[in-house]
Structure 1
Amino acid sequence: MSSVIVASPPVFGETVPVLEIAAGLVKRGHSVTALVGSRFAGSATAIGARHVPLPEGADFDDRQLLGANPERLALPPGPEQFNWDLINVFLAGMNTQHEVLQQLLDDDPDASLLSNSLFPGMWPVALGAPGRRPRKWVSVVAPAVIVEDDATTPTGPIPGLSGEEAVLAHRAANQEFHATLEPTRRAAQQQLEELGATEPMPAFYNAVYRLPDSVAALTVPEFDFPRATPPGSLTYAGILPPPRGAEPEKPEWWDDLGSGRPVVVVTQGTIANGDLGQLIEPTLTALADENVLVVATLGRDPSTLGVDPPANARVARYVPFDDLLPRADLLITNGGAGGTQLAVAAGVPVVMCGTTEEKPMNAARVAYHRVGIDLATATPSPEQIVDAVTTILGDPTYREAASRLSGAYAAYDPITTVETLLR
């Protein structure tokens, strides 16, 4: 049995994968301390971990900070909003994360650290600040892999190029991407200097992938872009099954999924569902007269829906994806990595409708591997939705490509992979 500290910023989509891995480690006999937000205290103790709360200054409710923050929403999607997120959500707690992490390592110097990739509490020591390092440090990447490579950019290889011309073009594009996150790098540099770091802060995503001993990416290489020079720290670990609470009852309409009509699932994820007029409502409107059954999972009370569901729609707050996706023919999503990959792993093509955070990177992978269509907007029109759904349901190559990738996902065991990296 080994001692493992698991740590994450208090963001739902970042914390849940770390705690799911922690649950697997506990079942295998490891002693786990969960350094996570107070919102997740019950989840941490329920899996058998010791909960240590993030200190004041590093703890917050991401539903307010990310989902409905007027300062954030006033920024245009893209680099400005992405830098705001990284600085105000993920970097803001670095100093206090560092302090509490050092206290835990002082108490247990032989502990290993399993951190979310956007938990920067170990960065100061990694860059020369005084303090202990864990026995092993493994970082878990939940979103798309974003690391510079001579064979690709964050949104895929540049079409029509080869040889040295392609290498130079990819290097230039990667440097341009780093430059868009320079405000984040400077903000991190200032905090690191205050903590006594002696080495300069690298480009943000170079820090993510090159500072830990190992990086476990929750994806498979078959869903990534081809890479020529990946960092030696990078390991593809596969995806985790969707989290489940108490076993929910099947909705009364469950048998309708076997009606013979194609089943189209639509979701805006767990955070970006404050305005269902972005994707859920246009989808219901667009497909009202189509020969499909639409299942809308809202992540919130169905009474908040701003349109009356048409006769061919079924609406729910939540339906477990591992039950629903095997019955689905298509997923329409705002583009989060978790839902996108769960669909592809189930052999289900996707329509991507996201423009913020890492969503364009996920959409680029979907388009590159032809497992779906990228609409390149978070607010598609009904006409765009109908065209995409009709195209995918009418072209079996999308389903065939998703089925091929499904077999790739089945070959991975993320808990075993992470446990091996922690040794």
Structure 2
Amino acid sequence: MKHLVWFRNDLRTEDQYALWKATQQAEKVIGVYCFDPRHFALTPYGFPKTGAYRAQFLWESVRALKRNLEALNIPLWVFYGEPETTIPELVKTHGITTLFTTHEWTSEERKVTDALKVQMPRIAFHELQDGFLFHPEDIPYPAAKEIPEIFTEFRKKCEKLSKIRPLVEPKAMPKSNYEITPELPTLASCGITPQSADKRTAFPFKGGENKALARLEDYFYTTENLSQYKQTRNGLIGADYSSKFSPWLAHGCISPRKIYWEVQQYEAEICKNEDTYWLIFELIWRDYFRYISQKHGNKIFQLNGIVKQKYEWEFNARKFEKWTQGKTPEPFVNANMKELAATGFMSNRGRQNVASFWAKEWEQDWRAGAAWFESLLIDYDVHSNYGNWLYNSGVGNDPRDRKFNIRRQAEMYDPKNEYQDLWNT
């Protein structure tokens, strides 16, 4: 049996189901990743779907994956091209019989998967559920339509009735399995001009599985910052006010299960408190938005979202320019938007405020804001991005439909104006 692993948003070797399955009882295993040109094209708003900061982090993550697979004697072929065009050629030249990949269900990803299947009707195609904390087969909801619309209901029931699966490890292949493959396509070939993040960035890290594990080691065991996570997570300045795991989670450089089991070890050896639990709490939020996107499908991309409430939204290009450039009447919003543009990162507190301002204060089409985040954020994840924008815009899973008092938020979280001074001067 000759197996191919198609990597997408799962750029790791540890606890990666498709890779783990592929290395069981196979005479040959190879991997493939495609930098899809459609991901680097312009959006209807005129800016790139994938901006320079996220593209750089992605490239670093794929490079690290290639090296880590090499240690397992598994070659990784990396192309700049559409998967449904490039992968069939690889399958043909290597005599592949079976393809393993992580199941993706949102519309753009699904179209690519289906198009690839059409091109390879004789290839066994295995799509595995991965990237969750609570595996879909282990949650107390037999069908996606049963997922509750309130996060707290989902969390409490899963915490009570679901177990977290143990980690899985791929099997190393014999040296004869390895073959030399071409170097990665450059960012320039993807139409991306690399940019260096501003020195003020709160995310001075690189992409890749090794960097993710190093950050976990540092945040947990070197600094023991996990013991204060809930107290510091609403910070705005510096690398350590929060875990900063989100970019690596978004690209699949580390699994949520890996983080969960490390928290368990940390609690057993060092400290167990509300702060350590709160990191798990946030991982459950991440899971929840993944399940919400399964339940509602393309509704998460529609103006009125997943609820019946209707707002009178518009799209004003001039306001959009002011919002993206940090030239609104609100200094706190401006500081956050400038940080995003200069670094590809923004705190969770900042994201809530700028989204609320755009959708609730200026009453502008929230989907434009979501598209801007998709382009710039290093940690863009379709489920979390659109789930949070729906939530903050009043057409998602917020039962209270709250609107942020931006100035009050600034007083609470930036009382000395340190953050605003950092980015607005």
The structure whose residues are more often strand, as a share, is: 1
Name the structure with the higher helix share: 2
TM-score in same-fold range (> 0.5): no
Structure 1 length-normalised TM: 0.34
Could you say which structure has the greater relative contact order, defined with CA pairs below 8 angstroms and 6 or more residues apart? Answer: 2
TM-score (norm 2): 0.34
